[in-house]
Structure 1
Amino acid sequence: FFFLTEVNYCHVLQESLLSSASGYSNYRGILNWCVVMLVLCNARLFLENLIKYGILVDPIQVVSLFLKDPYNWPASCLIIVSNVFIMAALYTERRLSVGTISETTGTFLYLVNLTTLLFFPSATVLTLTSITPVGGAFALCVYTVLFMKLYSYKDVNMWCREIRHTKARTLTRSHSCPSIAQSNGSAVHAHVSYPGNLTHRDIYYFVFAPTLCYELNFPRSPRIRKSFLLRRLFEMLFFIQLQIGLVQQWMVPTIQNSMKPFQDMDFSRMIERMLKLAVPNHLIWLIFFYWFFHSSMNFVAELMRFGDREFYQDWWNSETVTYFWSNWNIPVHKWCLRHFYKPLMGRGVNKWVAQTAIFLVSAFFHEYLVSVPLKMFRLWAFMGMMSQIPLAWFVGRFLRGNYGNAAVWISLIIGQPIAVLMYVHDFYVLHYVSQS
């Protein structure tokens, strides 16, 4: 009897120890509880919104965001005019390739072309009253992407001329002339060497390709997969409608109700509005990320048989702010690394100075794409972008692992609603309150 009792006691004690250990190592049930609570809380908010405002979704109303007059399309005309800058870059490179003009003259022509490429559309958007803020922002996005592409086009062709002049066949990885035929594991396309790449077909392929870094021979896929293309097309159509619906139904009423607390400087109500806006704003941002970087860019890449599909990496696992900015937008990161960061480092610039310069350029373009269409410049927005530098230093220095990842998510979830509310408030005050 005592022997059996002792055995049973040891068995119970062993089970107790195992149970205690497993309770601290397996959090699946708690995570599932968090997911269920998150879904229920957001479902309540969405139901409350429907009861309070009714159905606000109106796809036809979206057209008015791009057009004021159905017979006047200034943003579209502005985008068509961008072909002038593309042709200017192509014919400048052709003259440089045959030695008709010197490198100094070519650099001056590129300086004029790229400077005009930035300031011409912004001046047009600021001058024309018929262009809407959304239409202007879309046109400026196109011009900004074109600016980065033509800058890369200039650099790569210049590197190729340096190879030809020095009679070298290869360059280092930091200054490489990408003229080696590549494939995506299937079909190898015709090899192109400088200056055989200076054609209309080549430059327009690069303009529409989902990349910002120019290559003489891009990796190509063997064929267009129709099923893959249709899936991406369906996702594009579905998620763009979902974004429009969420903005109209969820964000617009919250933003409209936030104007009075901002005017009265009621800080408690301002914080409440900001937190209420954080949920739909972040949800829409995540949907936009998937719609643009996965669905849309893969659709374009598949249609153009473009082989490089690395448009993003695991930014959601970011433990530092720097890792997030390096992995959530791979095309921009590669461009900054290739045409900005490495050239600065090659000239002996300090690493932190080079990173600060990249944040400075990024802040400029973010403010450029928002302030010009809204026809207002806000120093706080520019400084808010630059605040990523001390935030990156703090997170990288003092926070690690899950704490760093939580800090990155908090900066994304809270930072964007603050910027949205302040931009809308300033726009409302400048264009409506001051006129009334």
Structure 2
Amino acid sequence: NSDERQRYLLVKMTPNAKPLDWWKRHESEFPKVAYVARSVLYALANARLFLENIIKYGILIDPIRWLRMFFNQPYSSANLGLILGSNVFILAIYNTEKAIQKGWFSEHVAFVIQAVTLTLLVFVPAAIVLVLEPNPLISTIILGMYTVMFLKLVSYASVNKWCRQSGSPKRLRRTKSVSISEGSPVANGKEETMLINYPENINLNNLYYFMCAPTLCYELNFPHTLRIRKRFLLKRLIEMLFIIQLIGACIQQWILPLVHNSLKPLSELDAARCVERLLKLAIPNHFIWLMFFYWFFHSTLNVLAEVLKFGDREFYKDWWNADTVLGFWSSWNIPVHRWATRHLYKPLLKMGWSKLNASIAVFCLSAFFHEYLVSIPLHMFKLWAFMGMLGQVPLALIQSRYIHWKLGNMVVWLSLILGQPIAILAYYHDYYINSHAYESFADVASQNITS
């Protein structure tokens, strides 16, 4: 009915009135002493492995190699073309919304146009990557950009459609935007109300701000800060530059020798050696994953938010305390979780789907994009990433019924520490063998770094 629809719109379209950084929103249930002990043990374990690696392989770090990989690509112009070409899809969605606003298109025609545009957005860059075969890392970055764009444009079109379908007066379509000055850490400022209602939001400035903002869920109004905190911004920039260099160095020094030396035992199906390589890879891989998490979700997204004066900084919660798989997936990547809840999970529930089936649909979409970001850049379709994500569903069901709290937290950490190395070894083995399909295994094995 009309009242229910109005409540639905207000819940869906109203941003947080008091944007805060994540540490002001969540208090840990675990003792702080446990953090200290865990951090010390983890640091000591990594220090020992790092020294062992240096003694065994010497210094393998070459920063110039990363620069050569990015700037000496034969298809660098195609990569630039893909980045610039993304504006075609953005403008297509924008012009469709503009046409609906002016009454040129019906809702049905607009839906078809937007569905075709979003489908092309996903598959056109994938086809170009498959044909031109640029560097896998660069391809992953570009396809990741298009994935984010897809999610944002779905949200943009959906929210505008909700506004048009609402029979409420204009004042109910308005949402409150709170501008906040620098404080503790971004609050305690003067509150100002800046209202935008539909269709005033249909303009390029509004759309491109959303495309750049560190969120996947569109709002007519976003919370803002009054000014850019220069000291905070400088700290995050230094973190970005330092951590990404450290990640690259650890991959060269730590990961590449280990995965390269895993080719022979994997090809010979030597179970004992495979397990040994898996366990040897688990800790450095997880260390790099943690650094990447901090670099992206804390440093990079905060830099973007600070430059754009974007107020809501809740990019993650305390996922490290999650005692269920579902708890982890709902807290480690808040932008994606909010998008999935708002634009897939809850709409499916309103259509009569059960919670289990709606959750499976969310994991299926996530599995598709995981495979999309791995298989296409590597030009392999092994479905390891897809099956790994779908495997989270039965694991979540078992864990929610039989495994709880601390034991559940251990299961979450084990799935992170061991699951990723298994996928890395599987994909690297298949990619390397496919890349050397015309060489004998003896030739390939002879290239391995001495283990």
Instruction: Give TM-score scaled by structure 1 length.
Output: 0.88
CA distance in structure 2 between the partners assigned to 1:362 and 1:416 by the alignment? 16
CA distance in structure 2 between the partners assigned to 1:428 and 1:389 by the alignment? 30
**Aligned 8 A contact 2:178 2:224 in 1:** yes
Could you say if the C-alpha distance between residues 435 and 102 of structure 1 is closer, same or farther in structure 2, counting changes exceeding 3 Å?
Answer: farther
Deviation at 1:36, TM superposition (A): 5.1
- Indicate which of 150, 153, 178 corresponds to 1:147: 150
- Indicate which of 416, 419, 440 corresponds to 1:415: 419
Provide structure 2 residue ranges, at least 5 long, that are not aligned to the other structure: 1-30, 181-188, 441-451
CA shift digits 1:374-416 (9 cap, x unpaired) = 0111134322221101111111111111000011000000000
- Indicate which of 212, 233, 249 corresponds to 1:229: 233
2:308 corresponds to 1:312: no
CA distance in structure 2 between the partners assigned to 1:35 and 1:309 by the alignment? 25
Deviation at 1:73, TM superposition (A): 3.1
Pick which of 360-369 and 380-389 moved more.
380-389
- Indicate which of 146, 156, 160 corresponds to 2:159: 156
Q: What amino acid sits opposite 2:149 in the alignment?
A: L
CA distance in structure 1 between the partners assigned to 2:88 and 2:38 by the alignment? 54
Partner of 1:215: 219
Q: What amino acid sits opposite 2:179 in the alignment?
A: S
CA shift digits 1:311-342 (9 cap, x unpaired) = 00010100000000000000000000100011
CA distance in structure 1 between the partners assigned to 2:39 and 2:231 by the alignment? 32
**Aligned 8 A contact 2:46 2:284 in 1:** no
Relative contact order (C-alpha < 8 Å, sep 6+): which is higher? 2
Partner of 1:373: 377
Partner of 1:403: 407
Deviation at 1:193, TM superposition (A): 1.4
Could you say if the C-alpha distance between residues 312 and 35 of structure 1 is closer, same or farther in structure 2, counting changes exceeding 3 Å?
Answer: closer
Partner of 1:282: 286
CA distance in structure 2 between the partners assigned to 1:158 and 1:248 by the alignment? 48
Q: How does 1:180-259 map to 2 (within 5 A)?
A: 180-184=176-180, 185-188=189-192, 190-259=194-263
Deviation at 1:121, TM superposition (A): 0.3
**Aligned 8 A contact 1:89 1:150 in 2:** yes
CA distance in structure 1 between the partners assigned to 2:139 and 2:191 by the alignment? 41
Partner of 1:46: 50
CA distance in structure 1 between the partners assigned to 2:259 and 2:170 by the alignment? 58
Q: What amino acid sits opposite 1:113 in the alignment?
A: T
**Aligned 8 A contact 2:371 2:383 in 1:** no
SS in 1 for 2:76: coil
Partner of 1:16: none
**Aligned 8 A contact 1:294 1:311 in 2:** yes
Q: How does 1:50-69 map to 2 (within 5 A)?
A: 50-69=54-73
SS in 2 for 1:69: coil
SS in 2 for 1:109: helix
CA distance in structure 2 between the partners assigned to 1:226 and 1:32 by the alignment? 30
Could you say if the C-alpha distance between residues 224 and 432 of structure 1 is closer, same or farther in structure 2, counting changes exceeding 3 Å?
Answer: same
**Aligned 8 A contact 2:159 2:219 in 1:** yes
Deviation at 1:433, TM superposition (A): 3.3
Partner of 1:135: 138
Could you say if the C-alpha distance between residues 30 and 219 of structure 1 is closer, same or farther in structure 2, counting changes exceeding 3 Å?
Answer: closer
Deviation at 1:126, TM superposition (A): 0.2
SS in 1 for 2:179: coil
Q: What amino acid sits opposite 1:181 in the alignment?
A: S
SS in 2 for 1:62: helix
Deviation at 1:432, TM superposition (A): 1.2
CA distance in structure 2 between the partners assigned to 1:306 and 1:29 by the alignment? 34
Could you say if the C-alpha distance between residues 316 and 28 of structure 1 is closer, same or farther in structure 2, counting changes exceeding 3 Å?
Answer: closer
SS in 1 for 2:224: coil
Identity %: 51
CA distance in structure 1 between the partners assigned to 2:404 and 2:383 by the alignment? 32
Deviation at 1:48, TM superposition (A): 1.6
Q: What amino acid sits opposite 2:202 in the alignment?
A: L
CA distance in structure 1 between the partners assigned to 2:262 and 2:169 by the alignment? 63
Q: What amino acid sits opposite 2:369 in the alignment?
A: F
Deviation at 1:180, TM superposition (A): 3.1
- Runs of 4+ aligned residues of structure 1 deviating over 4 Å after TM superposition are 27-38
**Aligned 8 A contact 2:314 2:334 in 1:** yes
CA shift digits 1:15-64 (9 cap, x unpaired) = xxxxxxxxxxxx99999777655444432221121112111111111134
**Aligned 8 A contact 1:301 1:307 in 2:** yes
CA distance in structure 2 between the partners assigned to 1:210 and 1:29 by the alignment? 33
2:111 corresponds to 1:107: yes
Could you say if the C-alpha distance between residues 258 and 95 of structure 1 is closer, same or farther in structure 2, counting changes exceeding 3 Å?
Answer: same
SS in 2 for 1:73: helix
2:86 corresponds to 1:90: no
CA distance in structure 2 between the partners assigned to 1:55 and 1:110 by the alignment? 52
- Indicate which of 336, 341, 350 corresponds to 1:337: 341
CA distance in structure 2 between the partners assigned to 1:281 and 1:370 by the alignment? 17
Partner of 2:12: none
CA distance in structure 2 between the partners assigned to 1:35 and 1:83 by the alignment? 44
CA shift digits 1:225-264 (9 cap, x unpaired) = 0000001001101100110111111111111111111011
CA distance in structure 2 between the partners assigned to 1:31 and 1:118 by the alignment? 41
Partner of 1:354: 358
Instruction: Give TM-score scaled by structure 2 length.
Output: 0.85
Greater helix share, 1 or 2?
1
**Aligned 8 A contact 1:65 1:134 in 2:** no
SS in 1 for 2:226: coil
CA distance in structure 2 between the partners assigned to 1:187 and 1:28 by the alignment? 35
CA distance in structure 2 between the partners assigned to 1:203 and 1:297 by the alignment? 19
Please give the root-mean-square deviation of Cα atoms over the aligned residues, in Å.
Answer: 2.0
Question: Larger C-alpha radius of gyration, 1 or 2?
Answer: 1
Partner of 1:18: none
Could you say if the C-alpha distance between residues 71 and 349 of structure 1 is closer, same or farther in structure 2, counting changes exceeding 3 Å?
Answer: closer
CA distance in structure 1 between the partners assigned to 2:68 and 2:223 by the alignment? 40
**Aligned 8 A contact 1:187 1:222 in 2:** no
